């Protein structure tokens, strides 16, 4: 890059329009949409679409709800010509849809364009010529007068040929190419001259014979507010504005096409031309999906239907052979996904209180993914950035586990350890094959790790076999609670261990008594895990080893709530390192630590 870019590039001069009104306006209704996917979008493809691909995309555009579709440049190639003929001859254009075709301002091309349109019920003929000073000077060697002459001669020929084909309901569109770099006075002069030629036939209401003046940012060269000033200037100064549909056609060279098209509407544009997902020359045409969804998320229906966003994206990708970036607004694979723990936590809280019929207010999600046909599956994904929030979200959503906060913190640390090991493995294998190792953990993998950590699916030493609980009506504790006596049988490897017996003011207290271990119950919670037949209870207990001060959670799941709590106690005892004091801990000091990293990636 140059150290002094001013020697090569000039800053764009401001427009003198101090009484501009667009900054105080609001967008309250969508524009007329024109899709140019089949023309501008197609022209930008390394491999232009086949007729079959164009037909598929045309049908998609119709299904989305476009009423104006630029279908091609019929004088440019035989495929383009044949596609237009096929649409007309096979009657593939719905009655409420108008096709548009592009032509340069050259007689043979205009004639060929009209041949292509023979028999169309309705059509917009879109003619353009280059008006920007560097194009006039460098590319065409024409003066301003010669440039106007070219445009008006083309406009006149279009009018004459249309008059020869009265069976078609014609509309005409003119684009001063690279409007953004054209002197505003000259852009007005040439547009006025063209509009002057395209007079509505006598007796026809002006509303029925609107002329379209399209202002292309063929190359985006300024800030979007400057573009808005240019549009407002034209809007105010064009002759016969009441019979002009003012259109904008933004390219995205500076990455601000969306903003420019939106500000252009504030400044007076009635219509927007663009492509789905921003396909088009160089950096693309303005993305109509983003524009439409921007209306939608302001509570204004755009008149286009993206309820099946992913299916739409698939068709577009197949037809254009172009990928869509995972962070592309509204459609990218990752745009409704949070990896960061604080975001996930906020989203989880948002979902918990979101009224299904109310105003959407889930933090970090500007829209409900369900509105564009997406599930909530991808909203939270867990990696090493995620902390406890994402893990808790996935376990609750996929397995119905509402983990107590303390357990979230404890299990979050286990998850973090596994993720850190995975991150290291993936980083050290970068450049080599990572053997499919992912730094992300799915809900299923979390559940596997949870079961492994809390001994829910394992058969270690001394597993629970059965219990018997009896009331002791003649005994009560200090608070007057009736005591209970418990007998618990545990499995000792292959054989049954001697029965443990104890008493207490409830099954847990009785079991702790039976275990005769230096442990104390810190917290206990029990919930139902599933509902209906086969309902199961989940018990969470937090125990403290009084000798070491160590605190661990245990979890038990069972259809019987007492059994679930006994299992939770056993789970926590297994996790506490009781240093030989526990009769059924396989020598705690030597017990192998669970191999969390073995969770299948
Ligand atoms: O970008 C452009 O200038 C065009 C015109 C033909 C409208 O696509
Ligand atoms: Zn263009």
What is the C-alpha to C-alpha distance for residues 353 and 357, in angstroms, rounded to an integer? Answer: 12
Helix ranges, 297-384 (H): 309-320, 341-353
Measured from the Cα of 177, ligand 1's closest atom is: 3
> What dotted CATH number matches 33-320?
3.20.20.70
pLDDT at 74: 98
> Dihedral through CA 192, CA 198, CA 204, CA 210, nearest 10?
-60
Kindly write down the DSSP assignment for every residue of 42-69, as one continuous string.
HHT-SSPPPHHHHHHHHHHHHHHT-SEE
- Expressed in angstroms and rounded, the spacing between residue 38 Cα and the centre of ligand 1 is 13
Of 100, 225, 228, the C-alpha closest to 169 is 100
Q: From the CB of residue 391, how many other CB atoms can be counted at a distance below 10 Å?
A: 27
CATH 3.20.20.70 region(s) of the chain?
Answer: 33-320
Q: What is the mean pLDDT of residues 35-62?
A: 98
Is it the case that residue 308 has pLDDT exceeding 70? yes
Assigned token pair, 58 = 């045309």
Q: Please write the tens of the pLDDT for every residue from 130-176.
A: 999 999 999 999 999 999 999 999 999 999 999 999 999 999 999 99
Q: From the CB of residue 491, how many other CB atoms can be counted at a distance below 10 Å?
A: 17
Counting Cα atoms < 13 Å in the Cβ hemisphere of 300 gives 12
Measured from the Cα of 218, ligand 1's closest atom is: 1
Is it the case that residue 531 has pLDDT exceeding 90? no
Measured from the Cα of 216, ligand 1's closest atom is: 3
Q: What is the mean pLDDT of residues 417-422?
A: 87
> What dotted CATH number matches 463-597?
3.30.160.270
- Expressed in angstroms and rounded, the spacing between residue 155 Cα and the centre of ligand 1 is 17
- Atom 1 (ligand 1): residue with closest C-alpha? 218
Ligand 1 contact via 249 beta carbon (within 6 Å):
yes
Is it the case that residue 593 has pLDDT exceeding 60? no
- Expressed in angstroms and rounded, the spacing between residue 273 Cα and the centre of ligand 2 is 9
Ligand 1, pocket-test mutation among 216, 264, 284, 285, most atoms within 8 A of CB = 216
Ligand 1 contact via 175 beta carbon (within 6 Å):
yes
- To the nearest whole percent, how much of the chain has pLDDT over 90? 77
Measured from the Cα of 102, ligand 1's closest atom is: 6
Ligand 1, pocket-test mutation among 34, 40, 172, 182, most atoms within 8 A of CB = 40
pLDDT at 596: 43
Ligand 1 contact via 216 beta carbon (within 6 Å):
yes
Q: What is the mean pLDDT of residues 499-521?
A: 94
Q: Distances in Å between the alpha carbon of 472 and those of 363, 499, 565? A: 53, 19, 20
CATH 3.30.160.270 region(s) of the chain?
Answer: 463-597
- Atom 6 (ligand 1): residue with closest C-alpha? 128
Q: What is the mean pLDDT of residues 572-596?
A: 59
What is the C-alpha to C-alpha distance for residues 310 and 307, in angstroms, rounded to an integer? Answer: 9
Confidence label for 48 from pLDDT (cuts 50, 70 and 90): very high
What is the C-alpha to C-alpha distance for residues 156 and 158, in angstroms, rounded to an integer? Answer: 5
- Higher per-residue confidence, 153 vs 581: 153
Confidence label for 591 from pLDDT (cuts 50, 70 and 90): very low
Q: For the chain, how far is it from start to end, CA to CA, in angstroms?
A: 44
Q: Identify the nearest ligand to the CA of 175 by its number.
A: 1
Is it the case that residue 433 has pLDDT exceeding 70? no
Ligand 1 contact via 225 beta carbon (within 6 Å):
no
Contact 232, 17 (CB under 8 A): yes
pLDDT at 588: 39
Q: Please write the tens of the pLDDT for every residue from 24-35.
A: 999 999 999 999
> Dihedral through CA 505, CA 508, CA 510, CA 511, nearest 10?
180
Ligand 1 contact via 58 beta carbon (within 6 Å):
no
What is the C-alpha to C-alpha distance for residues 471 and 467, in angstroms, rounded to an integer? Answer: 13
Confidence label for 584 from pLDDT (cuts 50, 70 and 90): low
Q: What is the mean pLDDT of residues 292-319?
A: 98
Measured from the Cα of 178, ligand 1's closest atom is: 3
Q: Is the dihedral of CA 152, 156, 161, 165 positive or negative?
A: positive
Query: Residue 128 belongs to what H/E stretch?
Result: strand 122-130
Measured from the Cα of 281, ligand 1's closest atom is: 1
Q: What is the mean pLDDT of residues 417-446?
A: 76
Ligand 1 contact via 40 beta carbon (within 6 Å):
yes
Expressed in percent and rounded to 5, the helix, strand and coil fractions of the chain are: 40, 20, 40
pLDDT at 452: 92
- Expressed in angstroms and rounded, the spacing between residue 205 Cα and the centre of ligand 1 is 29
Q: Please write the tens of the pLDDT for every residue from 68-99.
A: 999 999 999 999 999 999 999 999 999 999 99
Is it the case that residue 329 has pLDDT exceeding 80? yes
Q: What is the mean pLDDT of the chain?
A: 91
- Atom 4 (ligand 1): residue with closest C-alpha? 218
């Amino acid at each position: 890059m140059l150290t002094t870019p001013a020697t090569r590039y000039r800053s764009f001069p401001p427009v003198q329009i101090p009484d501009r009104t667009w900054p105080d306006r609001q967008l309250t209704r969508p524009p007329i949409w024109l899709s140019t996917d089949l023309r501008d979008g197609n022209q930008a493809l390394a491999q232009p679409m086949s007729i079959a691909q164009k037909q598929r995309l045309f049908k998609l555009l119709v299904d989305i709800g476009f009423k104006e579709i630029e279908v091609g440049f019929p004088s440019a190639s035989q495929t383009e010509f044949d596609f237009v003929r096929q649409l007309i001859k096979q009657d593939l254009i719905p009655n409420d849809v108008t096709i548009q075709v592009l032509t340069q301002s050259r007689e043979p091309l205009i004639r060929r364009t009209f041949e292509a349109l023979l028999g169309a019920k309705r059509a917009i003929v879109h003619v353009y010529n280059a008006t920007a000073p560097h194009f006039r000077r460098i590319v065409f060697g024409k003066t301003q007068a010669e440039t106007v002459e070219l445009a008006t001669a083309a406009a006149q020929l279009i009018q004459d040929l249309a008059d020869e084909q009265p069976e078609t309901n014609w509309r005409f569109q003119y684009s001063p190419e690279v409007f953004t770099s054209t002197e505003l006075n000259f852009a007005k002069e040439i547009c006025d001259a063209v509009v002057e030629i395209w007079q509505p036939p006598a007796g026809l209401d002006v509303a029925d014979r609107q002329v379209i003046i399209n202002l292309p940012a063929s190359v985006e060269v300024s800030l979007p507010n400057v573009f808005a000033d240019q549009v407002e200037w034209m809007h105010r100064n064009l002759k016969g504005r009441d019979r002009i549909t003012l259109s904008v056609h933004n390219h995205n060279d500076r990455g601000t096409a969306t903003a420019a098209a939106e500000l252009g509407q504030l400044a007076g544009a009635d219509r927007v031309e663009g492509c789905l997902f921003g396909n088009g020359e160089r950096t693309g045409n303005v993305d109509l999906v983003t524009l439409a969804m921007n209306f939608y998320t302001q509570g204004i229906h755009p008149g286009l239907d993206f309820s099946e966003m992913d299916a739409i994206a698939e068709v577009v990708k197949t037809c254009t052979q172009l990928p869509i970036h995972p962070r592309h607004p509204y459609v990218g694979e990752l745009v409704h996904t949070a990896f960061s723990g604080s975001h996930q936590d906020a989203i989880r809280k948002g979902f918990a209180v979101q009224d299904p019929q109310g105003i959407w207010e889930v933090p970090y999600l500007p829209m409900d993914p369900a509105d564009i046909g997406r599930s909530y599956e991808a909203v939270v994904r867990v990696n090493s950035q995620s902390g406890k929030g994402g893990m808790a979200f996935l376990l609750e959503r996929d397995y119905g586990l509402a983990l107590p906060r303390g357990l979230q913190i404890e299990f979050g640390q286990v998850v973090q350890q596994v993720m850190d090991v995975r991150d290291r493995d993936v980083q050290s294998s970068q450049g080599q094959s990572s053997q499919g190792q992912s730094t992300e953990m799915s809900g299923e993998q979390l559940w596997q790790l949870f079961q492994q950590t809390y001994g829910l699916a394992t058969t270690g030493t001394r597993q629970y076999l059965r219990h018997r609980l009896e009331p002791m009506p003649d005994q009560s504790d200090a608070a007057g609670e009736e005591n209970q006596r418990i007998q618990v049988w545990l499995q000792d490897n292959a054989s049954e261990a001697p029965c443990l017996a104890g008493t207490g003011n409830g099954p847990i207290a009785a079991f702790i008594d039976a275990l005769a271990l230096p442990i104390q119950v810190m917290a206990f919670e029990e919930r139902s895990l599933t509902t209906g037949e086969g309902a199961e209870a989940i018990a969470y207990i937090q125990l403290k080893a009084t000798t070491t001060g160590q605190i661990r959670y245990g979890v038990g799941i069972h259809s019987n709530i007492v059994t679930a709590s006994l299992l939770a106690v056993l789970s926590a005892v297994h996790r506490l390192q009781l240093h030989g004091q526990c009769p059924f801990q396989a020598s705690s000091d030597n017990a192998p630590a669970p191999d969390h990293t073995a969770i299948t990636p």
